Amino acid sequence: MKHTERIAPDIFRQRLLIEGYYERPITRESLAASMLAIAAHLNLRTYADPIVFSPESGMGKGENAGFDAFVPLVDSGISAYVWSNARFLSILLYTCKAFDETAAIEFAKKEFGLAGQTETLPF
């Protein structure tokens, strides 16, 4: 079934997915700091510290080892997923407050040292 109307048009939300291969090392601590930095750069208010998960060795496939992270925003949240072996990063910004997508993309590229091809998807 094809939908031509947006669901819940009266509820503002902005979403942006940024993906790419990174050059700078990412640790639990650096990922948490970067998520706070992105929020601050975009004037998005956090209300708690980022939570960063890293499954123990052997819990999943080695090629998927890395980090899953989330920082709550007053107006929704930012999630990040890191594949350490592949040096690949996926960040999802989901907010109920408008932000500058170009500023978000450029900041993420610089903050994580995203190299080569990156992909962004506003939806």
- Inter-CA distances, 6 with 43, 56, 94, 113, Å: 27, 40, 16, 35
- Inter-CA distances, 65 with 40, 51, 95, 98, Å: 28, 17, 27, 33
Q: Cα 118 from chain centroid? A: 13
- Given the structure tokens 């594949």, which residue do they identify? 83
93/77 Cα distance (integer angstroms):
6
- For 24-35, write each residue's pLDDT tens digit: 999 999 999 999
Q: Domains of the chain: which residue ranges?
A: 14-122
Architecture in CATH for domain 14-122: 4-Layer Sandwich (3.60)
Res. 6 pLDDT band, cuts 50 70 90: confident
| Model pTM score | 0.86
- For 42-99, write each residue's pLDDT tens digit: 999 999 999 999 875 555 566 667 999 999 999 999 999 999 999 999 999 999 999 9
Residue 2 has pLDDT above 70, yes or no: no
Q: Which two tokens stand for residue 114?
A: 């995203």
What pLDDT, on the 0 to 100 scale, is given for residue 28?
93
Res. 120 pLDDT band, cuts 50 70 90: confident
What pLDDT, on the 0 to 100 scale, is given for residue 123?
64
Residue 18 has pLDDT above 90, yes or no: yes
